[in-house]
Structure 1
Amino acid sequence: MILYPQERIEWFKSNGWWGKETIYTLFANNAKMYWDAPALVDAPNKPQLVGLEPLRFTYGELFQTIDNLASQLITAGIEKDDIVMVQLPNVTEMVCVYLACSRIGAIVSPIAVQYRHHELNKYIRIAEPKAYIGAKDFNKFNYLNMINEIIPDYPCLKVIIGLGNDLPENVLSLSDMLNNSSALDTLNNYLTQVDVTSDDVFTICWTSGTEADPKAVPRSTNEWIGIGSACHQLCEVKEGYNILNPFPLINMSSIGGMWLPWLLSGGGAFVVHHPFDLKVMLGQLQDEKINYTLIPPAVLNSLLQNEAILQSYDISNLKSIGSGSAPLSPWMVKGFQEKYGIFVYNVFGSTEGIAFVSNFYNPEERALYFPRTGNPLRYGMPNYTWQKPISLMQQTKIVDPNTKEEITEKGIPGEMCIKGPNVFCGYYKRPDLTESAFDSEGYFNTGDLFSIEGDDGNWNKYMFSGRSKDLIIRGGWNISPEEVENAVLEHPKVAEVAAVGYPDDRLGEKVCVAVVTKPGETVTLEEINLFLEQKNMAIFKRPEILLTLDMLPRNPVGKVVKSEVRAMLT
């Protein structure tokens, strides 16, 4: 299934941005070079998660296992362009499914393990998968019982594959398929008749929005490589790096931020982790000699404030950490660099394809800004390009959210628009949404607010300001929730914060902050505003309402759900 227009494919390839490698061939090339090196490792708590023992694969063992699974998928009736819906926690078997599907040209559609009947019905109705792969038991829930209750309503579902023991009669065993080499001739015959290319859709991932239904985002291998290159290049992921993945392997942060860098760098191990458990994660950082990982800002803040925890583990192999989905504190980024020699990179991405990674040497800048990547000829500015290929691949501009006029002055929040070989070509089966998502120049309207920043006329940076729908408008003044959050987060009693607008008849909106305090602390609105006054923040930006929470509401991939914060206020 190729969805990208052919002329765009040829343009990207003529510039050297797209190539011929599939996800599988990237892995296979690595396997030939590093046959006996560790490649894929389970978390030690896997028995408690799914009732199975942890697995460890060398590249050679994984290569053979992928062929086994690919041949068994074909035997089960799954072929090129068939959609395989995957609902698994981060276990090595999930990575095997991805690689085997790429081997035969099947399309992976991963969904969060938190979802139940209500959400699953929506995804199946849109994607019409031929197969479903789920765990028998995870977190005290039986996913196979759920899918068997749904099957009668969806004749498209022909194959059910389960992870676990004592499976229902109609369910194939994923573990058995991984170890069964009896159909390798079937695989070889199949591959002589089918052409799997890097332009074919490899995944259909999902994103939410203001619509009632989730939006399906198809991405080819080349689109994934386009965005995976950003983290690979800008987070300085090198050959032989061991990578720990603590995010669900279902979307941009994990697939683009960690799995693709593993495939693009080669030679190291991809270590999985799920659900997030600080003690288990720190043990993996030590025992697996991890060099690169992604960790949420709140966890990094907490670790740096409780260094006794860090000193209990040997993390000397850790060279870089990606972080995002919430404001990064400059003191935290600086602290990890100065005390541990670890570079913390600010990472911003979306399922549709936006890819920003801060690559400044100065840690304070790295916490707050992103390189203003794009075509330098559009602006004719000196020192605008960056010393990485991604800076020319990804073109960007900022426009007024209402008028859509381009903003070229610094300090004015506007909607980020982006195009390039890392950006998807449109929502699956939703031409109406696709049409409204792109402008006449082919830029994708992200809905994310950024401002142009810089010094001495060299405006070569972007600063994130929030989602356009999250913009707070108080008395005609546009207030960036990100700016408020960054400032409040520096208060010594605050661990996490989310800023939202609260409806007001006179002003339109008032600024509200929902905060999670550090253990044993309490904070008042007066304390926060006195702190902001001392920082010389404008009065109209200071919060007028304080909501104290035990934890911020988050979606399955860890992003704060501000609509739920607003609902709590209401």
Structure 2
Amino acid sequence: MKPIRYKEDMVNEFLKNGYWTHETFYDFWERNAREYGDKEALVDSKYRLTWAEAKRLVDAMAVSWVEMGIPKHSRMIVQSPNSVYGFLARIACERAGLISLTVYPYLRQRELEYMVERTQASAVIILTMYNKFNYLEMYEGLQKQFPHLKNIFLFDDEVPASAPAGTYSLTSIVNERAQKPVSESALAERRLDPIWDVALLTTTSGTTGIPKLVEWPTAPRVCTSKARVDIWNLSKDDITMAIAPHAGGAAGTLTYFAAPLAGAKTVMLEEFSPDGALALIEKERATAIGVVPTHLVRMLDADASKYDLSSLRFIRSAGGYLSPQIAEEAEKAFGASITSDLGTQDMGSVSGCRVEDSRDLRRRTVGRMLPGNQVRLVDESGKNEVPDGEPGVLYFRGPHAPAGYYRDEELTATVFDPNGWTTTGDIVKFDQECLWILGRAKDMIIRGGQNIYPAEIEGLLNDHPKVVSVAVVGYPDREMGERACAYVIPRNGREFTFQEMVDFLKSKNIAMFKLPERLEIVAEFPTVGDSGKVNKEVLKKEIKEKVASEGKS
């Protein structure tokens, strides 16, 4: 299945400059089995596999699907909690020339109906039951809706008697097939071209609740993974740990994509609890963990001093906003650096901080542009580049971008221009070679003709000891056009007043026009889909209506 956006000249450019190669992710598993065969590769509560054992099971899984007659390029949905077999299934799809779509365990019929229909998936891989929910029953219903969904593979060792035809125990199939020789030539024929074949699909978070699907060959993902290995200084001696679901970027980027390139081991935490996570870090001597900010907050509420966390080197937090205050607390409590970066599933990876970067750079910036990324900063019209040193809307192109939205050229063209340029919509500036996010173009507040960048105010207010998190939005004003309102979540229910906010910001020596003219105290923020990102559109609507009602009273 050819990617819809890539063109010969762009491909040749990235190949010539060494950003893209003809490597697949399986190539690194094969190398690791050859060079570090007896070294542990994957661990969960049930399995401990070496690289040699992992490769053997991957080959057995892949060849089983080939021998069952599943055509090359078929789409396969992997819905799995953190587990060794969930990992093996993803890489086995690539090995068998199948296109994998790995989704979160908490997705249900509404989201999955769209994905099964849109991808014309021929198979799924699931647990029969997980967290008291019957996945087999749900997919049996989906099979009746979509006849192309022919096979259900279970991570369970046995198939329930009530299961529909075409249901198999994946573990049983693999363990039996692994006892027999595997034809390398049969699998070689199924090899996906790293550039000209779609290899995997990822989902985006959207305001509609139904994710969009993004298609990826392996070349851009390998390219980004190599960049992450470099900025994180990953090596075969690292032990990475998936605390967040491996299906998402917070843990998946670290464990599924980057760790095998370095030959690093991965540990899977199946079910999160603060003490369970901390105990597993201690037990496995994890050096790097992948989390969402909520995990860090809950782990901070536990007594970390009970655990030996001295092995921990860095924390990859993604999938939502992490306030500098929480990051500071986490670094002190866990003795590890927290990295930050910029990227989206729709547009690819943009930049990232190095583990050894200063505290200020890791807190205030999203690091340096990744190798091969070109960048330009333009004014709000999107046409004119701004002078050096001035803030502008970020536009970029490079080898870390996906092929576009799955089988949708029209939608893809709304994100990428014909030359591959795209924008996150962020207003940024460059300083100390790093990218400083000042806000999104649509969130910029124009007060009396002067621009207020919400991220600048948010960054300052997040340093206040009483503030857990803050979101600054604009609201209409007859005199000034717009004014700024700060929504604040206080720490532990403490009182935080408007005057405290103003005095604190004045102490930072910022221009007076940047001071928010309203303060709203809330317990939580609305979020966009399952991304954890603050939905500022909801806040803008809320404050607009509140100000309007006050004007009428």
Instruction: Specify the TM-score bucket, using the shorter chain as the normaliser.
Output: 0.7 to 0.9
Q: Secondary structure at the match of 1:497?
A: strand
Structure 1 residue 137 displacement after superposition: 2.0
1:93 paired with 2:88, answer no
Aligned residues of 1:514 and 1:549 also touching (Cα < 8 A): no
Which of 533, 537, 551 is equivalent to 1:559? 533
Partners of 1:435 and 1:131 in 2: CA distance: 30
Normalising to structure 2: TM-score of the pair? 0.87
Aligned residues of 1:325 and 1:348 also touching (Cα < 8 A): no
Which of 158, 174, 184 is equivalent to 2:150? 158
Q: Secondary structure at the match of 1:416?
A: strand
Residue by residue over 1:149-185, the C-alpha shift from the partner in whole angstroms, topping out at 9 and shown as x without a partner, is 2222223212122334553233222322332217956
Aligned residues of 1:131 and 1:158 also touching (Cα < 8 A): yes
Which of 287, 291, 304 is equivalent to 1:291? 287
Structure 1 residue 108 displacement after superposition: 0.7
Name which of structure 1's ranges 128-137 and 101-110 shifts more when overlaid on structure 2. 128-137
Which of 207, 211, 216 is equivalent to 1:214? 211
Partners of 1:503 and 1:484 in 2: CA distance: 19
Aligned residues of 2:289 and 2:315 also touching (Cα < 8 A): yes
Aligned residues of 1:330 and 1:363 also touching (Cα < 8 A): no
Q: Secondary structure at the match of 1:417?
A: strand
Structure 1 residue 396 displacement after superposition: 1.6
Name which of structure 1's ranges 93-102 and 539-548 shifts more when overlaid on structure 2. 539-548
Structure 1 residue 424 displacement after superposition: 1.5
Structure 1 residue 189 displacement after superposition: 5.5
Structure 1 residue 409 displacement after superposition: 3.2
Q: Secondary structure at the match of 1:405?
A: coil
Structure 2 gaps of 5+ residues are 546-553
Which of 437, 444, 447 is equivalent to 2:425? 447
Structure 1 residue 504 displacement after superposition: 5.3
Partners of 1:257 and 1:464 in 2: CA distance: 23
Aligned residues of 2:250 and 2:316 also touching (Cα < 8 A): no
Aligned residues of 1:333 and 1:363 also touching (Cα < 8 A): no
Supply the AA of the counterpart residue of 1:242. I
Which of 40, 45, 50 is equivalent to 1:38? 40
Structure 1 gaps of 5+ residues are 45-53, 374-389, 455-459
Q: Secondary structure at the match of 1:224?
A: helix
Structure 1 residue 69 displacement after superposition: 1.3
Partners of 1:81 and 1:408 in 2: CA distance: 47
Which of 198, 201, 205 is equivalent to 1:201? 198
* Equivalent in the alignment of 1:409: 388
Matches for 1:83-122 after TM superposition, within 5 Å: 83-122=75-114
Aligned residues of 1:516 and 1:552 also touching (Cα < 8 A): no
Q: Secondary structure at the match of 2:402?
A: coil
Partners of 2:254 and 2:178 in 1: CA distance: 36
Structure 1 residue 280 displacement after superposition: 1.6
* Equivalent in the alignment of 1:400: 379
The 1:411/1:202 distance shift into structure 2, 3 A limit, reads same
- Tell me how many residue pairs correspond in the alignment: 534
Structure 1 residue 96 displacement after superposition: 0.7
Aligned residues of 1:237 and 1:292 also touching (Cα < 8 A): no
Partners of 1:547 and 1:331 in 2: CA distance: 18
Q: Secondary structure at the match of 2:203?
A: strand
Structure 1 residue 40 displacement after superposition: 0.6
Partners of 1:265 and 1:556 in 2: CA distance: 30
* Equivalent in the alignment of 1:243: 240
* Equivalent in the alignment of 1:378: none
Aligned residues of 2:201 and 2:215 also touching (Cα < 8 A): yes
1:15 paired with 2:17, answer yes
The 1:138/1:512 distance shift into structure 2, 3 A limit, reads farther
Partners of 2:236 and 2:523 in 1: CA distance: 43
Residue by residue over 1:265-318, the C-alpha shift from the partner in whole angstroms, topping out at 9 and shown as x without a partner, is 11x3111224542212111211111111234456657867x7x83322111111
The 1:241/1:555 distance shift into structure 2, 3 A limit, reads farther
Matches for 1:103-502 after TM superposition, within 5 Å: 103-164=95-156, 167=160, 168-170=163-165, 171-181=167-177, 188=184, 190-191=186-187, 193-199=189-195, 200-209=197-206, 214-266=211-263, 268-297=264-293, 300=296, 309-325=303-319, 342-351=336-345, 352-359=347-354, 361-373=357-369, 390-391=370-371, 393-412=372-391, 414-439=392-417, 441-454=419-432, 460-502=433-475
* Equivalent in the alignment of 2:59: 67
Residue by residue over 1:172-218, the C-alpha shift from the partner in whole angstroms, topping out at 9 and shown as x without a partner, is 22322332217956754632543433223221111134678532211
Structure 1 residue 568 displacement after superposition: 6.3
Structure 1 residue 130 displacement after superposition: 1.4
Normalising to structure 1: TM-score of the pair? 0.84
Name which of structure 1's ranges 543-552 and 229-238 shifts more when overlaid on structure 2. 543-552
Aligned residues of 2:526 and 2:538 also touching (Cα < 8 A): no
Q: Secondary structure at the match of 2:261?
A: helix
Supply the AA of the counterpart residue of 1:315. L
The 1:501/1:299 distance shift into structure 2, 3 A limit, reads farther
Aligned residues of 1:202 and 1:221 also touching (Cα < 8 A): yes
* Equivalent in the alignment of 1:384: none
Instruction: Report the aligned-residue RMSD.
Output: 3.0
